[in-house]
Amino acid sequence: MDVPFIDTLDRAYDADIHGAHKAARERSWYATTPLGILVLRYADVQALLHDRRWREQGPDALRLAGISSGPLWEWFHQIMSTQEGEPHARLRRLVSKAFTPRSVERLRPIMRATAHEFIDRFVAAGRCEFVEAFAAPYPVRVIGALLGVPPGDFAKFHAWSTDLSLAFGYDIAAQRARIEAALVGLSAYVDELLALRRREPQDDLISALIAVEEQGDRLSPAELNAMVTVLIFGGQDTTQCQLACAVATFVRHPEQWERLAKDPDVAVTAAEEVLRYEPAGSGSPRVATEDFRWRGLDVKAGTLAHPCTPSANRDPAVYPDPDRFDITRRHPEPQLTFGGGVHYCLGAALARAELQEALPILARRLLHPAADGPVEWRAQVLIRGPSRLPIRFAAGD
C-alpha cells in the first residue's frame, strides 16, 4: 500500500489540514506521522473508536513529555476520559444521572439571553475581535449557570481553562508550569465550591453530582473535583473554539449566513454542518493494548493511532461533495466530532444546544460579516480553532 506521510508537527499542516487529509485519504485509509498513525476514512475511524483493543492515550502523553508525577499527572489519572472498562462505566453511569438532557434544555433561555447581552456590547461598533467579544465569554456564562458558579468568578474560570487547554497539545513539557498553576488554582476553587454546595445545596449540576447515588455508590471527593474541573474546562474551551470555527466558516460562505438569518429553523442542521465541516475537536488519540492485525495492518502494543475527525467528516464515501458547506445538509451518518463508542463526549448535547441557540441570533444581528484582519489559528493542539478572529459587519435587528 502507498502509505502517505503527514508531518503533523509542521506549521504548514496546521495552515491547511483539510488539504493534507484529502490528499492522503485518496491514497490510503491512514497516514504515518511523527506521533503514530493518523486514521483518515470514516469507516476506519468508526472502527477505531469502537474497538476495545485500543484505549485512550491518557497519561501516556505525559510520559512522552517526561512527566510522571505532580498535579497534572494525578489529574490525568482521575478524569473520566482516561479511565477504561468498569471504572469508566461506573463514573459515566453516576455522572449521567446528574448531567441529564433536562439539565441542558433548561439552559436554552439563558443561552439566548447571554448571546443578546454580549452582542449588545459590540454591535454598534460594526466590528469586533469575535473570540474575545463572544466566543470566549458565551460558553463561560453557560457552563457557569449549569454548575451554579457565581458570575463574578467567570473571568478566573476562563483564564484557568485557557492555560489548561495547553495540556492537550504537543508542547506539554515546555508549558508544564503554566498548565499546573492553572490546574492547582482551578482545583482549589472547585474544592471550595463543593464544600459550599454540601452545606447549601442548590438546583445546579454540582449539587446533583454530590447527591447522585446508585446502589449506595457515590462519587468520591477526588472524583467530584476531577469531574467538575473537566466540566469547567471542557464546557468552555471546546465550545469557544467551535463557535470561532463556525463564524470563520460562515465568513467564507456569506450566502449560508444570510440563509440562517432568514430561516432560524435550520439552526439544528446548521450546527450539525458546522460540527462536520470545521470541527474544533481533532480526535482523541488511542493506544494499542496488545499485538494484533487490524485493517490489514500489523499493530504492536503501544502503537499510537489518532482517529482524525476532521478527515472522517469529509470522507466522500459518506458525505457527497464533502468540501461543500451546506447548512441544510442532512447527514446520512452521524458526524464524528464528538467521538464514538464508550468514550462518546458527555457534553455533546450541551455543545449542540449552545450552537443551535447562538448561531441564528448572531446571523440576525451581525449582517454581512467579513474578515477585518488576519485570522490566527491555534497550532499544535488537539482542540483547534481561531485564537483571534477580527470581523466587521452591519448591525441587524
**Considering only the top CATH level, what class is 11-395?**
mainly alpha
pLDDT tens column, 135-167: 999 999 999 999 988 888 888 888 888 888 888
What is the β-pairing status of strands 127-129 and 390-395?
antiparallel
Q: What is the mean pLDDT of residues 377-397?
A: 90
Comparing 5 with 159, the larger pLDDT belongs to 5
H-helix or E-strand spanning residue 238: helix 221-252
Q: Locate cell 449539587: which residue? A: 207
Q: How far apart are CA 389 and CA 387, in angstroms?
A: 7
Residue 312 has pLDDT above 70, yes or no: yes
Q: What is the mean pLDDT of residues 50-78?
A: 88
Contact assessment for residue 178 and residue 166, using Cβ atoms and an 8 Å cutoff: yes
Residue ranges of domains in the chain: 11-395
Q: Locate cell 498548565: which residue? A: 179
Task: Compute the Cα dihedral for 329, 377, 244, 175 and give only its sign.
Answer: positive
Q: How far apart are CA 356 and CA 321, in angstroms?
A: 24
First to last CA, the chain: 56
* 3-state SS, residue 371: strand
Q: What is the mean pLDDT of residues 261-278?
A: 96
The whole-chain average pLDDT of the chain stands at 92
Work out the pLDDT band at 380, boundaries 50, 70, 90: confident
Q: What is the mean pLDDT of residues 225-242?
A: 89
Q: How far apart are CA 139 and CA 118, in angstroms?
A: 11
